[in-house]
């Protein structure tokens, strides 16, 4: 069956092109994800704020706590996906995100069925699923840019550009800066000049966000600023309410798919590939570090999705032939049998499939 799917995939890519097929894969995977978790289409909570911001991104007469996260609302404004229609923009980016994973892994030499399965790991994790029950939230937008930042690490200027766009979407993307540097070091071990150049590019990528925040702060006060997140009150809140929920919240990011990074970490140590093991640890630590100042437990931890993709890619080098496809495929199927939930500061929230009320 896998050979037949590969033949069909290669035929379609030759008949059309890689990215047309990638778009189709992304669309199908998001549709299947909507069957697994019932989607909502009415703007809610932060989604409402982003929708309001999209009506006029630079109207400073109205207070908006999310004004620093300007890029999605600006894109909504420019594409006329304003107000209630803004709910469509994160879904479009969710398709683009999954399509980019398929196309990116095909470029890395994965067979079509392998690339579909890799994109499926993300499609059926909280990384995409929470987007379905949080209409208007812009997580899929900066996940898309973060993925491209990692994918183009060998092209520092391109990677830096996408990282800058991720930061203008959500400042939490900054937690991925250390992993990006470690990943660059992993790809170019001992090439310190290249690493220094890349570090400088990433530093420059932070500048547009800083300049924008300075400019906005001269016109209006934004609630979600540094003083809010690093206040004694907020840090005490996360310590008391968030950290106790960390283990369960972290589990429901990937559920059993956490075995993929665990396998990759253990095997990399056994094969003395210590730099890759360090990369996985850096990703995990930086991801969890968000919860020192933020409190949407599982949702925030989804930023660490590169740990799953990089681990899956690494395991393919350890498990030759169809061994990788078999193990990862079976693991994904078993994972789907575990009811989906996500953790908030108020407790565990179920995410029922479309056939349940």
The verdict on residue 215 lying in a domain is yes
* Position 207 in a domain: yes
Token output for 36: 């697994």
Task: Assess if residue 356 is contained within a domain.
Answer: no
Nearest by Cα to 176 from 204, 200, 147, 201: 147
Tell me if 357 is assigned to some domain.
no
> Which tens digit of pLDDT belongs to each residue from 284-293?
999 999 999 9
Asked if residue 278 has pLDDT above 90, the reply is yes
8 A C-beta contact, residue 148 and residue 162: yes
Q: Would you say residue 355 lies in a domain?
A: no
Tokens read off for 167: 């930061």
Band the pLDDT of 295: cuts 50, 70, 90: confident
pLDDT tops 90 at residue 202: yes
pLDDT value for 355: 86
Using DSSP's 3-state secondary structure scheme, residue 252 falls into helix
Please state the rounded mean pLDDT for residues 296-311.
97
Domain that holds residue 144: 2-350
Confidence class for position 320, pLDDT limits 50, 70, 90? confident
C-alpha 102/C-alpha 7 separation (Å) is 16
261 close to 311: Cβ distance less than 8 angstroms? yes
> Is 26 among the domain residues?
yes
From residue 26, alpha-carbon distances to 30, 143, 246, 269 in Å are 6, 14, 30, 34
Q: Tell me the pTM.
A: 0.96
The number of folded domains in the chain is: 1
Q: Of 90, 98, 82, which is closest to residue 39 (Cα–Cα)? A: 90
Whether residue 1 has pLDDT greater than 80: no
pLDDT of 75-98, one tens digit each? 999 999 999 999 999 999 999 999
Answer yes or no: is pLDDT of 6 > 90. no
In this predicted model, what pLDDT tens digit does every residue of 238-252 receive, in sequence order? 999 999 999 999 999
Asked if residue 37 is part of any domain, the answer here is yes
Asked if the structure places residue 136 within a domain, the reply is: yes
- Rounded to a whole number of angstroms, the CA Rg of the chain reads 20
How far is residue 118's CA from residue 124's CA, in Å, rounded to a whole number?
10
Share of the chain above pLDDT 70, in %: 100
């Amino acid at each position: 069956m896998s050979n037949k799917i590969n033949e069909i995939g290669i035929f379609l890519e030759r008949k059309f092109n890689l990215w047309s097929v990638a778009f189709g894969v992304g669309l199908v995977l998001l549709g299947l994800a909507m069957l697994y978790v019932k989607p909502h289409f009415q703007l809610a909570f932060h989604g409402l704020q982003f929708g309001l911001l999209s009506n006029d991104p630079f109207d400073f007469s109205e207070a908006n706590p999310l004004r620093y996260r300007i890029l999605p609302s600006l894109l909504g404004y420019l594409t006329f996906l304003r107000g209630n229609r803004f709910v469509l923009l994160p879904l479009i980016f969710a398709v683009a995100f999954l399509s980019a994973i398929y196309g990116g892994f095909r470029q890395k030499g994965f067979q079509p069925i392998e690339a579909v399965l890799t994109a499926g790991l993300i499609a059926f994790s909280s990384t995409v699923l929470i987007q379905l029950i949080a209409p208007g939230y812009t997580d899929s937008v900066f996940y898309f840019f973060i993925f491209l930042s990692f994918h183009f690490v060998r092209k520092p200027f391109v990677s830096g550009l996408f990282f800058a766009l991720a930061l203008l979407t959500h400042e939490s993307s900054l937690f991925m800066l250390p992993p990006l540097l470690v990943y660059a070091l992993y790809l170019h071990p001992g090439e310190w000049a290249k690493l220094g150049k890349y570090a400088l590019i990433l530093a420059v990528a932070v500048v547009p966000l800083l300049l924008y925040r300075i400019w906005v702060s001269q016109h209006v006060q934004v609630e979600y600023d540094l003083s809010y997140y690093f206040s004694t009150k907020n840090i005490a809140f996360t310590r008391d309410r968030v950290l106790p929920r960390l283990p369960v919240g972290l589990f429901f990011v990937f559920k059993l798919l956490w075995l993929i990074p665990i396998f990759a970490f253990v095997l990399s140590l056994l094969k003395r590939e210590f730099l890759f093991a360090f990369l996985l640890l850096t990703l995990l630590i930086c991801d969890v570090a968000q919860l020192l100042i933020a409190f949407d437990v599982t949702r925030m931890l989804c930023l660490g999705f590169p740990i799953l993709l990089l681990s899956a890619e690494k395991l393919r080098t350890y498990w030759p032939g169809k061994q990788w496809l078999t193990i990862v495929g079976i693991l994904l199927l078993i994972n789907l049998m575990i009811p989906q939930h996500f953790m908030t500061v108020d407790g565990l929230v179920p995410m029922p499939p479309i056939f349940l009320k």
